[in-house]
Structure 1
Amino acid sequence: MAPTLTILDDYQNAALDLADWSPLRERYEIDVVDEHLEGDALVERLAGSRVVVAMRERTAFPEAILLRLPELRLLVTTGMANAAIDLEAAARLGIAVSGTTGSGREVAELTLGVMISLARHITVEDRSMHEGGWQTTLGTALAGKTLGLVGLGKQGALVAELARAFRMRIVAWSPHLTPERAAEHGAEAVTKEALFETSDFVSIHVPLTESTRWLVGAEELAVMKESAYLVNTSRGPVVDTEALLMALMVDTIAGAALDVYDVEPLPADDPLRKLDNVLLIPHLGYVTREVYAVFYGEAVEDVLAFDAGEELRSLVPSAG
């Protein structure tokens, strides 16, 4: 009987269509999981799996889970970093871990998209139109508005590039950002306080580490303009969710757009779902056909390389 290769968290049932898995079909029984599993349910489903293909950080693999998967020999993650995998434990247990490339401009494009949606109330007007309404809101232009970027790394720089096309003023802050680095991307380096006080849109683009957890809390939200919006396409815990809920409920800020959450998938009874001034997206930043084709295509390459005893794509250790 052939060993099992399990593809996890394929919510759209896209994996088998977006890559050629035929080189592996004679070697493995391929099991595709289109729902999110945790704990005992996850361990039971993976009990006979020799290879697991994980989609980004949707499923965590701490030591406690890895210890319960004695058949697992290769764990492939899409992307080149995954903070949800205990790499040290995997190494001790003889589990190889490899990654794929595939990240590009998708998150930046989505960030600008939700900013436009917030500014022009697109989701509100869409609902109104479906209910028979016509022109219920008054939007605002992006041109001339100030975009505050919390983080000016790869993704922040791409957002800055797109925002310049909309003729926005760009300010940026991160602990080690220099004026010269900011100027390279058409931005002005400012203090953290000044960024939150002056920005019409604040967009977060920092990784989740111990130093960035709850980086945006009640103090930062309190100084934002009442007309300003917060956008988070980075990681949920970078923002203090309780503080954000309060700010949204009492209209300290005009609204928010969120693509990431403390717990994913977002629970059905989460209070964020009940607010009208927050645009909620189910972590779609990297979810495009083009990215998935690279993810799954290179996952196949990783499995073939492992079986041939060839060198694997090593993950970049996550910070913090």
Structure 2
Amino acid sequence: MKIVVQKNLYDRSLSVFSEAAKKYSIGFLLTEVLDEVAMLEYHHAGADCFIIGAEAYSSNFYRALRSGSLVIRYGVGYNSVPVELCKERRIRVAYTPDTLTDSVAEYTFALLLTLCRHTADLDKSMKSNEWIGVGGIELKGKTIAIIGFGKIGQAVARIAKYGFGMKVNAYSRHFPKQNNLADFFSLDYKQVVKEADIISLHLATTPETKGFFNKERLSLCKKGAILVNTSRGELVVESDLYEALLDNTLGAAALDVFVKEPYYPTDKVDFRKLPNVLLTPHCGSNTKEANDNIAHTVIRNILAFRDGKEITLIPELK
């Protein structure tokens, strides 16, 4: 069985994929990210299963796939996949839920601590032979507003509350099954963020949440608050966030995700130029543990596809 996979994803989970190749006689065909030409050449030669990352492939790519083909999203977010087009074309789309919760939650705090203690700047100064101490802030006693209280949001709350002694405010569009992790829970965004020192984004991307963090909602945040986004770039109106950081409505931001990935700044909005912004290239889930979890789920979907069994389809296509 031939499977087309992005080379960077194959390399992340090399041991799992190489073992599966031997055990199940799977042939992995490697392509570069967004190399639709190579992917479709393999498709024309008979490959009907594709493993993709978070990047958005063109509608022309999906229109060129045969009905019944399977696209497996290596990860949990599938906002870059044109779901309606896949429905129309009868293309199945799988994903790997519950595989990266802890990695993303931990990375949220890696970014937050880097901002609060100026770790990146201190490292840079030391490597420039400078001995310059910069004061930071503690997390203990601070209030964190967790926007989106699903599994990742709750994992962040657990670390914040029990690891750092923070007060946890939580916002969700629906009441969660359990909310004992939150010191304060509300369906009212304004009430959740108004006294929060840190805002951490964990909403799923839907038509209702796309552009959720706009000028109006950012203005409701506490003056000088820190924003961390390890969820999805589409949640944020980047021009509005840029202005909020520029005029110090927000004190700082750590961004691991962007509207367009790889990140391409514009003349008017370039987060790289702001000293109060920390940027990383969508790697919150990129740990050995998460990658192995994801790869095992990918393999189960490949075998289910081969054997005509149940696939872990995204909810919209079940």
TM-score between both structures, scaled by the size of structure 2: 0.85
Counterpart in the other structure of 1:194: 191
SS of residue in 2 equivalent to 1:237: helix
Counterpart in the other structure of 1:301: 300
Aligned pair in 2 of structure 1 residues 307, 11: CA closer, same or farther (>3 Å)? closer
- Aligned residue among 253, 256, 272 for 1:256: 253
Alpha-carbon distance in structure 2 between the residues aligned to 1:252 and 1:94? 46
SS of residue in 1 equivalent to 2:299: helix
Bigger mean CA deviation after superposition, 242-251 or 138-147:
242-251
Aligned AA for 1:175? R
C-alpha displacement at 1:9, in angstroms?
5.6
Bigger mean CA deviation after superposition, 113-122 or 78-87:
78-87
Q: Give the paired residue count.
A: 311
Aligned pair in 2 of structure 1 residues 194, 98: CA closer, same or farther (>3 Å)? closer
- Aligned residue among 64, 73, 88 for 2:69: 73
Alpha-carbon distance in structure 2 between the residues aligned to 1:229 and 1:317? 34
Alpha-carbon distance in structure 1 between the residues aligned to 2:118 and 2:166? 19
CA contact (8 A) 2:224 2:248 kept: no
Aligned pair in 2 of structure 1 residues 72, 128: CA closer, same or farther (>3 Å)? farther
Counterpart in the other structure of 1:167: 165
Aligned AA for 2:102? R
Counterpart in the other structure of 2:45: 48
Alpha-carbon distance in structure 2 between the residues aligned to 1:240 and 1:125? 30
Counterpart in the other structure of 1:17: 15
SS of residue in 1 equivalent to 2:224: coil
Greater helix proportion = 2
Alpha-carbon distance in structure 2 between the residues aligned to 1:97 and 1:220? 33
CA contact (8 A) 1:149 1:171 kept: yes
SS of residue in 2 equivalent to 1:116: helix
Q: Show structure 2 runs of 5+ residues with no match.
A: none
Counterpart in the other structure of 2:96: 100
Whether 2:108 is the aligned partner of 1:111: answer yes
Aligned AA for 2:166? M
SS of residue in 2 equivalent to 1:106: helix
Counterpart in the other structure of 2:174: 176
Whether 2:209 is the aligned partner of 1:212: answer yes
Aligned AA for 2:80? A
**Identical-residue share of aligned pairs (%):** 27
- Listed one character per residue, the Cα deviations across residues 104-136 of structure 1 (whole Å, up to 9, x for unaligned) are 311111112211111111111111111112234
Aligned pair in 2 of structure 1 residues 38, 268: CA closer, same or farther (>3 Å)? farther
Alpha-carbon distance in structure 2 between the residues aligned to 1:298 and 1:137? 44
Counterpart in the other structure of 1:237: 234
TM-score between both structures, scaled by the size of structure 1: 0.84
C-alpha displacement at 1:273, in angstroms?
1.7
Aligned AA for 1:148? A
- Aligned residue among 134, 146, 157 for 1:137: 134
Counterpart in the other structure of 1:84: 80
Alpha-carbon distance in structure 2 between the residues aligned to 1:304 and 1:220? 45
Alpha-carbon distance in structure 1 between the residues aligned to 2:312 and 2:257? 27
Q: Show structure 1 runs of 5+ residues with no match.
A: none
Bigger mean CA deviation after superposition, 243-252 or 261-270:
261-270
Aligned pair in 2 of structure 1 residues 196, 94: CA closer, same or farther (>3 Å)? closer
Aligned pair in 2 of structure 1 residues 214, 89: CA closer, same or farther (>3 Å)? closer
Alpha-carbon distance in structure 2 between the residues aligned to 1:47 and 1:266? 31
- Listed one character per residue, the Cα deviations across residues 214-271 of structure 1 (whole Å, up to 9, x for unaligned) are 2112223234344321111111121111011112222222110011100011126661
